[in-house]
Chains A and B, each alone.
Chain A
Amino acid sequence: MSTSQQRVATPSSSGPDARPRTLPWLAARGAFGFAPAIEVEITQLGHDGWVAWQLDLDLVDDNALDQKLAAYPWVTMSAIDIINDPSMDTVELGHEYKGLRLLRAVESKRQLFERVCQFWEDHFNVYMGSYFRFVEDRTIWRPMALTNFPDLLRGVSTSASMISFLNNELNVVGAGNENLAREILELHTLGVDGPYTEADVREFARALTGWTFDDDRLSPSFGTAIFEPSLHDFGSKTILGTVYDQGLGQAELGGILQMLAMHPSTIDFVTGKMARFFLGDNAPPQTVENAKVLWLQTGGDIKGIVRELLNQRAVETVAIRGGTKFRRPFDWYASIFRSTGAQVPSARQNYDNMALLGQAPFEWAAPDGYPEDRERWVGLVAPRWKLAASFARPHLGGAWNHSFWDFFGLVHGVPRAGWARRLNQRLAGGRLSPVDVSEIQAHLDSLPAMASNEDLLGEALELVFASPSYQIV
């Protein structure tokens, strides 16, 4: 592998301490939404400086979040330790882990890292049907998220959770199961339009035989992937025209995955998908081209690719063209906490809320991951409206950890006639549409003069979070 030496981050053309025009866009694409802290960070470091800083995880202190996560000690336990602890309810742990995903998105200082993790969660989706998945989230998915694509591909392809999710334990010499082979080619590397045939799927499946996992609950390696030579097909295989005939056994797969990871179709497919994730459909073609060249030159260095995609000029271009992305439910839910600073509810409550919104983490059942396409999500706004109505009025009940007083600072000292404009600045970095702002203000103006601040702010916050321009970034 090669982790190429990064270029030294240079301040943006607007210079440090001048608020970059791209700030609200970067906060919504390189992070989980606008928040007071990120406004300070990007203003101090500049656009490109912030991205470079975020990509050097050692420089970003995340101790405050780590201390909160320490309240869940099982998050760092192995599968064998979890099943040997009779106090552990693995189903409930799974629900909590999904809820903690939201806590990380809201409170991590490593916002860009969390966004990259989210991308790989979908790209290498494994439905969390067992605790293998959250154990390997800690040991494989997250630590490898910012390394390089060939290593990440090897890591997830030979993880116990991926092997069991796609039935590769059933894929044995003489009795093949093509599930994992097909999805690696179709979803993880070459893409559905890639240059592979059904024969390639079958041949690749033969190469994957023997990759299984230890399901012996008495074994110290329970829940980890293993290569079992007696189940492996040592014969010659031809995949995408390359012959693998040395009978290397366990070592064979690494070479095949390396070839796939650096295949031009993989580079096209995955870079394009990353560009849509970070920049939307209007990603500047030159930026995408540069990222592909970087992939080739650096052996798939993920940091370099992300830095290229999120560079200030690219984001500026997207912003000028007015290209937007529709926030998925998870991103919307994270953003309402980030923008208001409201205390995040319990992990279990987060899980229940995200399930109602339609995007509980790790619960997409198919191997393609939660979709990005707008069509899939735009109809699913009514649950947001209902949740926003409750979130905005904690004084009326609901399982929230925040109170009205967490919100009051947003408009403190501002007359009611200026609330909509103020909330637009404080909650969306000024990105709400003029129509939405004026409708919110008109609604406030129409309410009785004697209405309480709790009631007024509840009305205003609900409408901000339900407004169509808040749904897009």
Chain B
Amino acid sequence: MFENAKTAFLFGGIFMFVVAYLWEGYLPLSHLNEMKVETMEELTADVLPEFEELAEVYPKEFKEYYGEPTSEAMAEALILGKKVYTQEACWHCHSQFIRPVSNEATRYGPVSLAKEYSNEMNYPHLFGTRRVGPDLIRENGKHSNDWHVAHFYNPQMVVPVSVMPAYVWLYDETVDPPVPNKKGMAIITYVQWLGSWLNKDGNKLNNTGKAPLADEIETETDKKLAELQNGDSK
């Protein structure tokens, strides 16, 4: 029975795949799906200060590309920024999650929680599997817009040993000095947005170097997921 093409196809192939999906796919998803998926409107309810700053520093260009720095404009910039991040494969060299080990919380900031990724910007997620450059999920507040403008244009200008390529096509080079174009402003908005939710007032994520403890988290769902993430259900 086990030495037959049909058994291999139907039982080994299809049935075992379904079993694996139920265990390693459906089961974790059933827990994670208890979280609400935040919409773009909710994500952009507060306009990012860095986005507003782009409008102040490049008034003419910003007006042309995005109009006023409203929530809708920011949503547009975030979506375009993620597209740039995807098409340039930024995610192949920069991860987007902080682990509770290897002193990552000291280096980058609080350990990542599932709820941080439960929003419309994470279809698909951009966790990444390699760090040629540093993790970016806590990028907000680490560098100024000006730093990013210089860095995307020529990374070695600000980080001499960097092996990141220059992204000159994200700039309008007809002016001197070059000014980020629509895509350039979008990618800056996107990386500045990463982790910005932690720098808002009333944020309760700790930075103990471990995944947050359940009693520091507000909702029941988040508590349960933090317990599952820590692998202990006390």
Q: Are A and B physically bound partners?
A: no
